[in-house]
Amino acid sequence: MTWFEEPVSSDDQAGLRQVRDSCPIDIAAGEYGYSPCYYAPMIAAGAVDCVQADITRCGGVTGWLAVAHVAAARQLDISGHSPPRCTRPRHDVQGLHRRALPHRLTR
C-alpha cells in the first residue's frame, strides 16, 4: 500500500494530522480541493504526505501545476486525481509535471 487515502475529510486538518501522526503509512488527501489556496492550510498543518489534486476541480492544468509547486516547496508528493472518465488529461498533466518536478510526482 502506497498511502492511506482520505482517512478523514480533507477539510479536517487536525484529524488528518492526528491520523498521520499515528499511522505508519503516508496519508494522501485533497481530491476535492478547488484552488491552490485550498491546499495551503492542509500542507501548513503537516496533515498529509501526498497531495491529491484533481485537474477537473482545481482550475485545470494551471491550477494543478500551482498546487504541485506548493507541494514541492514543502517536499510533499503530489498525485494527479481525476474521475475515471477524465484520465487522459490527468496523464497529460502528469507528463508536464514530471518534467518540472520529477522527484516529487507519484503515479
**pLDDT > 70? residue 66:** yes
Residue with cell 496523464: 91
Cα atoms in the 13 Å half-sphere on the side-chain side of 96? 16
pLDDT tier at 104, thresholds 50, 70, 90: low
Longest dimension (CA), the chain: 35
Cα atoms in the 13 Å half-sphere on the side-chain side of 43? 22
**pLDDT > 50? residue 97:** no
Mapping DSSP to helix (H, G, I), strand (E, B) and coil, where does residue 81 land?
strand
- Which pTM was predicted? 0.75
Contact yes or no for 101/77 (Cβ under 8 A)? no
- Among 6-10, 35-39, 42-46, the minimum mean pLDDT is found in 35-39
